[in-house]
Amino acid sequence: MSNHSATLREAIEELIAVGSLSPGQHLDETELAQRFGVSRTPIRETLIQLASMGLVVIRPRRGAIVAELGPQQLVEMFEVMSEMEATCGRLAARRMTPEEQQALLAAHQACKEARDAEEPDAYYYKNEVFHETIYAGSHNQFLIEQTRNLYRRLRPYRRLQLRVRNRLANSYDEHDGVVQAIVRGDGDLAAQLLRDHVMIQGQRFADLMASLPQLTQKHAA
């Protein structure tokens, strides 16, 4: 894949992650080509790549739309996400090098600064680095790739969760327990804490469902 096409994919993926392109929104190839100053061919190729990642749905003769997840799909995907993260945490507790532990502590500190500044968007990006550091620490390349792929798919929804009241502070506190468990080498505890951190159920699920209109209202407007 060329750098240019990777950049284009990342740019459109980012617009989906932040809700600028909303679930269910039609993706106009001509409009996107104009926005990015390219022809329609690379846009079409990029949409096919995003469809293979599950972020876009291409419908015969009707063009592409941003993928939508229903409540049941969301629960199922977060359930799998929580198990994958738990596995990454368990392995990271056993396999992280001292340098990787330092990188995890640095990522945790960056989350603290974003939390203190009460900036959900900044926290979201630091949070992504935090989780990515744990994936890398598993030293299992196949697991890393699969976990990243699902994280990507759920990015808009994980981002939305951080806008729920008190979620930043709670998220950071949960991270703190995870970091301590990994640094101590307690894989079972790290796995349990990550599973609970990522899983959406009960009130967390109700809050996410109540927030979903924020993700789709631009599209409806």
Per-block average pLDDT, block size 10, for the chain (221 residues)? Answer: 75 88 92 94 94 92 90 92 98 98 98 94 94 98 96 88 85 97 98 94 82 65 41
Instruction: Could you list the beta-strand ranges (E) of the chain.
Output: 26-27, 56-59, 63-66
CATH class of 3-66: mainly alpha
As annotated, the residues of the chain forming the CATH 1.10.10.10 domain(s) are 3-66
Q: Tokens 């790290």 appear where?
A: 190
* Nearest Cα residue to 219 out of 68, 52, 8: 68
* Region(s) of the chain under CATH 1.20.120.530: 71-220
196: exposed, middle or buried (C-beta count within 10 Å: 0-12, 13-18, 19+)? middle
pLDDT for the residue numbered 160: 83
pLDDT at 186: 98
Angle between helices 141-161 and 3-17 (to 10 degrees): 40
Contacts of 141 (CB under 8 A, 6+ apart): none
> Which residue type does 145 have?
E
Domain 71-220, CATH class in plain words: mainly alpha
Give one word for 61, left, alpha or beta, with left for phi > 0 and alpha for psi -120 to 50.
Answer: left
Angle ∠(14,201,81) on CA atoms, nearest 5: 45
- Kindly give, in sequence order, each residue whose CB lies less than 8 Å from that of residue 91, ignoring residues fewer than 6 positions away: 137, 138, 139, 140, 143, 187
HEC per residue, 175-220: HHHHHHHHHHCCHHHHHHHHHHHHCCCHHHHHHHHHHHHHHHHHHH
Q: Write out the two tokens for 218.
A: 């631009």
